Amino acid sequence: MVTRILIAEDEKPIAELIKLALTKEGYFCTAAYDGEEAADLIERESFDLCLLDIMLPKIDGYELLQYAACLDLPVIFITAKTGVEDRVRGLRAGAEDYISKPFECSELTARVEAVLRRRGSVPEVIRLGDITVDRDARVVKKGGREVTLTAKEFDLLLYMYKNKNRALYRHQIYAGVWGGDMLGDSRTVDLHIQRLRKKLSLEKTLLSVHKIGYRLEVYT
């Protein structure tokens, strides 16, 4: 499953450097160059982590941090503000970590990995009724019997679970699983949803949402 990271940084060369470094590590990155654009993306898309510059135009990083916190989106501050009071303010406001500019890309990726590990919201073994999903072994069983899923079907199931009980647009699902823009063709998402429903008998759980997309209903 693709991990999606939002980079909110108004200095484009720095944003591109971060994007290049994290893309090489297998992350799917989206850049926003001001706070307003970042807020719109947070509202429309689903991200696993936000790398956030404090001194953003239009809406600053502290305001965006509060918005991200409402959506349980973890944030790492990346900023030239190196004073202790700035670091303390950011951490007390809810940031997971704080990286000062300039930084080494190796340090950045290590801190990203640490936060994602710490904030991992999907357990190693997922249970959906009589279905069990072992993330590490990539094995799915229904009623004790193993069910063969393709790589993308497995990634799609994990993505829907991670966003359980939330209506997702088709383009969100495509970006989260395939790591790119859907370009107006929703058949790939629809076909994989149909296959999951059939293979795992999820017709009453993996629901269609009119004019939006799909929702996985999970009752705990």
- Long-range (24+ apart) CB contacts under 8 A made by 92-100 are 93/62, 93/65, 93/66, 94/65, 94/66, 94/69, 95/52, 95/65
CATH class in words for 125-216: mainly alpha
Domain limits of the chain?
A: 4-118, 125-216
Whole-angstrom distance, CA of residue 10 vs CA of residue 212: 31
In three-state secondary structure terms, 23 is: helix
Give the pLDDT score at 18. Answer: 93
pTM of the predicted protein model? 0.57
d(CA 133, CA 140): 5
Distance (Å, whole) CA 4 – CA 179: 8
- Mean pLDDT of all residues belonging to the chain: 86
Q: Provide the H-helix boundaries in 71-186.
A: 84-93, 105-118, 151-162, 170-178
pLDDT tier at 85, thresholds 50, 70, 90: confident
- Domain 4-118 sits in which CATH superfamily? Response regulator (3.40.50.2300)
pLDDT digits (tens, 9 = 90+) for 5-27: 999 999 999 999 999 888 877 78
Residue 94 has pLDDT above 60, yes or no: yes
Question: Which of 179, 206, 182, 178 is CA-nearest to residue 194?
Answer: 206
Per-residue pLDDT, averaged over 66-87, amounts to 81
Angle between helices 187-200 and 151-162 (to 10 degrees): 90
* Count of CA atoms in the C-beta half-sphere (13 A) of 162: 25
Return d(Cα 140, Cα 66) in angstroms, integer: 37
Query: What is the structure's pLDDT at 9?
Result: 95
The continuous run of DSSP H or E covering 73 comes out as none
Can you give the pLDDT at residue 153?
Answer: 94
Question: Is 72 a residue whose pLDDT tops 90?
Answer: no
Cis preceding linkage at 102, omega within 30 = yes
